[in-house]
Amino acid sequence: MARKKLIAGNWKMNGLTADGTALAKGIASEVKALGKVQCEFLVCPPFTLLAAVKKALRGAKVALGGQDCHFENKGAHTGDISPLMLTDLGCSYVILGHSERRADHGESNELVCKKAVAAHQAGLKTVICIGETLAQRDAGQTIDVCSRQILGSVPESATSANTVIAYEPVWAIGTGKTPTAQDVEEVHAAVRKVLAQKLGRGNASKMRILYGGSVKPSNAAEFLSLPDVDGALIGGASLKVEDFMAIAKNSGC
């Protein structure tokens, strides 16, 4: 069965009400204009914009996601957002284990895994991020690191229906640098093998594995035409309607 490509925007800590709403409205009208599309669209704004973006997306086939969540649904966790709060605001997805969370907030594979279980219980689909640092790549550890992250961060509750993997080499995020297409395909194929060991061949063959890290309109076609690349997680270029939509169009959506 063909895997439907997922074009996902990770807005990170960007956008105030006016520009976030305008961005969402722009994406909504472009996606509507595309008519019947081959891809699934997702935007993940900061928590503060979720309600406004939900409204701005009304009527457009664009899913809404959070960028993180806690592993509990309520309680004494100052500053945190729960999976239920995300579904309450209309989210169907949540990004977990992004390298910026792993680096800035010391998130471990174990924590990401716990969050994923809670997110699945709340009915959210998870986009679980993995990827090596430059030092790990230079030491030839890319596949090892990614395999360990998959084994540690992806819970037993993961299925092809509730989980998407995003391979994002840390050194490619926001830098304009990217691996070669061959490198990306090699990692994605290896990740799919590890997923098969962990979750069974059926789930692994249907699970979407996104590439992320300096995806732009000019390189989208190259990456998204690879056999094991099932979409993109887009940071910087998701903040401009034209770029986000050009990536989708160049990917055959």
Which DSSP category does 253 fall into?
A: -
Q: How far apart are the first and last CA of the chain?
A: 17
Q: Is 110 a catalytic residue?
A: no
- Which range binds ligand PGA by CB under 6 A, 16-24, 53-61, 133-141, 235-243? 235-243
Residues ≥6 apart with Cβ < 8 Å to 81: 47, 66, 68, 69, 70
- Tell me the closest approach of the beta carbon of residue 206 to ligand PGA, in angstroms: 23
Q: Which of 131, 169, 179, 235 binds ligand PGA (CB under 6 A)?
A: 235
Q: Is 40 a catalytic residue?
A: no
For the beta carbon of residue 139, count every other beta carbon within 10 angstroms: 12
Where in 21-60 is the site for ligand PGA (CB under 6 A)? none
How many whole angstroms separate alpha carbon 102 and alpha carbon 106? 5
Which DSSP category does 9 fall into?
A: E
Total site size for ligand PGA, rule CB under 6 A: 13
234 binds ligand PGA (CB under 6 A): yes
Q: Which of 5, 10, 63, 204 binds ligand PGA (CB under 6 A)?
A: 10
Where in 175-214 is the site for ligand PGA (CB under 6 A)? 212-214
- Tell me the closest approach of the beta carbon of residue 215 to ligand PGA, in angstroms: 5
Helix axes 142-153, 181-199, angle to 10 degrees: 40
**The two three-digit tokens of residue 186, written as one number:** 């090699």
Q: For ligand PGA, which is the closer residue by CB, 20 or 213?
A: 213
169 binds ligand PGA (CB under 6 A): no
Q: Name the nearest CA neighbour of 128 among 157, 153, 156.
A: 153
Asked if 142 and 187 touch (Cβ cutoff 8 Å), the reply is: yes
- Tell me the closest approach of the beta carbon of residue 247 to ligand PGA, in angstroms: 10
Contact residues: ligand PGA, CB under 6 A: 10, 168, 173-174, 212-215, 233-237
Q: Which residues are identified as catalytic? A: 98, 168
